[in-house]
Amino acid sequence: MARRLLHLTTLYETARELGAMSSPQEVMNAFLLTAMGPLGATRGFVLTVNRFTRETRLARRGLEPEETAGLGQDLDGLLAACFPDQPQPRFGGQEMLALQELPQPAPAPLPPDTRILAAWTARGGMLGVLGLSDRLDGADLDQDDREFLKGLAGTLAGALKTAQATENIRRLNLELAAKNAELEEAAAQAEAARGDQARRAYQLKTLFDASRELAPQTDTREMAESFLLLCMGALSMSQGLVLVRDSRSGTPILASRGVELPPDHALAATLDAAFAGSPGNPIPMSCKVLVDPRLLAGAGLPFPAAALCLFAVDESCQGILALGSPLTGEAPTPDELELLAAHASSFLVFLGKARNFAAAQQANRNLAQRNQELQQLLEEITQCRLDLEGEKRHKARIISFVERQSDRVQAASRLDFAVILALALLLGLVFNASNPSGADMVPLAWSRPPAERIDAGWAKLRRDNGAILVDARPVQLYKQRHVKDALNLPASLFDFVFAMRLARLASQTEIVVYGHTVSRLYDEEVAFLLKDRGFENVHVMEGGLPAWMAMGLPVEPAP
Amino acid sequence: MTARLRTLATHPGLALAFRLYLGGLFIYASIYKIQYPAEFAESIAAYQLVPHFLVNPMAAVLPWLELICGALAVIGLRVRAALVVMTVLMALFTLSLAWVVALDIPIGCGCFTGQEAEAGPLTLLRDLAWLAMCLHALAFDRLLHLENRISWKISELPCPPA
């Protein structure tokens, strides 16, 4: 009875003691002591294993570490040893409790001298094992002991659950605190980022404004003024100078504020000194900001500069921006310098654009001039062509004129005929005059007294009265037809025929001569010859043979 | 074939041959008549076409006209004018001959010398042939003209295309 009371008291105290504890390890250590005492065990261990996470907790008394080393390793062997009746115990829902006294030696992985073994399972795959050995009295467990152990095990399981829950809550709290800290840190970062963003936004707005101001400008000098004012405003400087040297246009661009300007040659020297003093000139379309006081002093600027920006559009166009005398009295911050660089880059872009614009304008002007020249050339060529066509027309006209003249030369002209006729006339007359057998040009009949003319009827009467009819025509004509019994006496045969037929006639013999043509006055000629021979009665029958025939007088041969 | 015949018939070479032949003919015909103008005057008078007061001057001048024209035709100077005169003369001769033949006037033609056979239809045909030669030369002759030397120079000028 006393033992039962002791057991119950122990159980109650154990429960109360364990309930106050929050750490499972503490619970296990306390429990092991509590359990060993009433049962008189000198050595023992408590082991909890999470089947899924393999999280192992161990509390031991009187056992060496190597004796309990295999407990956490061989879970299947442990389960087989704890629940020989149920090789696959269930871990969900129903909790199990097994209590057994083990034969010696105890099966692995338990320590070999484990005598009493209590095992239980709990929700969440939790396995708990209590092993005791070396009872002082060496007796077996009686019913009370068994109940006591079951109670103890149950108490331990409950306490462990409680402790586990407590520990979980504590862990969750810790995690929550860590999360809170992280959140606070993130909030701080977000705040910093917002500030950064606002600064960026300000810079971007400034840049945007600068771009808007610079974009429409095409005059590089005005651009330099605007750029200088922008940079001075952005960095709160009271002195500033922009100097751009453009070998393409030749004239340097200078803009300054709050500075006593040196003469031009000094500015050029300043630019050279600034670029020479900087380690490595800026590459085209880039800029470099210098704040090193030593370099700034070496640049030879006309005022103490706080920042110097070197920039270059290309090899032919370089420039500097010098800023000094900050209104705040402080050196420019990296942000401001960054903004300055951004402004300078922006200015570079617009400067390049303005230069290209100027170059394009120049090219346009050149093109316009070239066009003008070409137009002029075209007009000249057109004029030349017109002139040429005129020349061609003239040439064609001249050639056709010459050809016409040539044709005219070849063609027979009146002059030709006149010359030929005149020549023939001249030669003929001259030659005839000088020719012994030439013909008389003037008819002899005109220079002789005309013979007495009688008509054909009177002529017949004269013949009937013994007059001789003489036919003066040439022989052929006489032969063709003549007055019957007429004597043929052509002038060409006059002497011969006269001598034969008329020479012996008396000079008073009446002779009637007939026969003439349009071309020859044979009768007149023969009449003159007869008279010349002394015949006094020589007549010419007018009308000749046709008149004779017209009167029907006889002719030979008869028609 | 017809084209070839036409080309041959109108060939300037043929016209040149006719021109030279006629030129020689005229020269030959003129020689005797120049020497004996009185005799030629009788021949002219025989035709009974020329007034009596013109017969002798014509007999003195006409042979010279023949000689000059013949010489011009042969040497190629003022050929057109010479050919025109020769054609006119030949036409006159032919017409006169036709007149004589038509009227049956019994005379020699007097073409070359005073002593010739009586003119007849054959003489008329011969004269017609010569007249045709004159017309051919007048129409197609263009070779060996002395004036052409100038024309050749002109044709060497680069004429613009028409």
Q: What is the pLDDT of residues A123-175, one digit of tens each?
A: 777 788 888 876 777 667 777 777 777 787 787 777 777 877 888 888 899 99
Q: Phi and psi for A94 in degrees, rounded to 5? A: -70, 125
Tokens of A35: 């359990």
Give A-chain residues touching B143 at CB under 8 angstroms: none
Please list the residues that pair with A412 across neighbouring strands: none
- Selection from B113, B100, B90 nearest residue B42 by Cα: B113
| Phi, psi at A92, each rounded to 5° | -95, 165
Q: Chain B 109-138, CB below 8 Å of chain A: which residues?
A: none
Cβ-Cβ contacts under 8 Å, B106 against chain A:
476-477, 479-480
Q: Which residues pair with A63 in a beta bridge?
A: none
pTM of the model: 0.48
pLDDT digits (tens, 9 = 90+) for A323-346: 888 888 888 888 888 888 888 888
Domain count along chain B? 1
Q: Do B159 and A399 touch (CB under 8 A)?
A: yes
**DSSP letter at B119?**
P
By the 8 A CB rule, do B31 and A503 touch? no
DSSP, collapsed to helix, strand or coil, labels residue A91 as: coil
Residue B62 lies in a domain: yes
Q: Is residue B3 part of a domain?
A: no
Q: Determine the distance in angstroms separating the CA of A449 from the nearest CA of chain B, rounded to an integer.
A: 17
Interface predicted TM-score (ipTM) of this complex, two decimals = 0.89
Checking if the pLDDT of B162 tops 50, the result is no
Res A358 pLDDT > 90: no
- Decide if A399 and B157 are in contact by the 8 Å CB cutoff: yes
Domain membership of residue B161 (yes or no) is no
B30 occurs within a structural domain: yes
Residue B103 lies in a domain: yes
Nearest CA to A476 among A486, A496, A490, A495? A490
| Nearest CB to B68; choose among A420, A480, A492 | A420
In a domain, B101, yes or no: yes
Residue type, A464: D
Check B56 against A440: CB less than 8 A apart: yes
Task: Give the DSSP letter of residue A444.
Answer: G
Domain with B113, as residue range(s), is: 13-145
Q: Is residue B138 part of a domain?
A: yes
Calpha distance A540→A534 (Å, rounded): 16
* pLDDT tens digits for range B32-78: 999 988 888 888 888 888 999 999 999 999 999 999 999 999 998 88
Rg of chain B on CA atoms, in Å: 19
Q: Are A224 and A206 in contact (CB under 8 A)?
A: no
Cβ distance B119 to B54 under 8 Å? Answer: no
The C-alpha of A378 sits at a distance from chain B's nearest C-alpha, in angstroms, of 24
Nearest to B84 among A412, A474, A479 (CB): A412
Nearest residue to B79 via CA among B33, B8, B22: B22
Residue contact B147–A474, C-beta within 8 A = no
In a domain, B111, yes or no: yes
Domains for chain A: give ranges and CATH numbers.
2-172 (3.30.450.40), 212-362 (3.30.450.40), 446-556 (3.40.250.10)
List of chain B residues whose C-beta atoms are within 8 Å of the C-beta of residue A517:
45, 48, 52
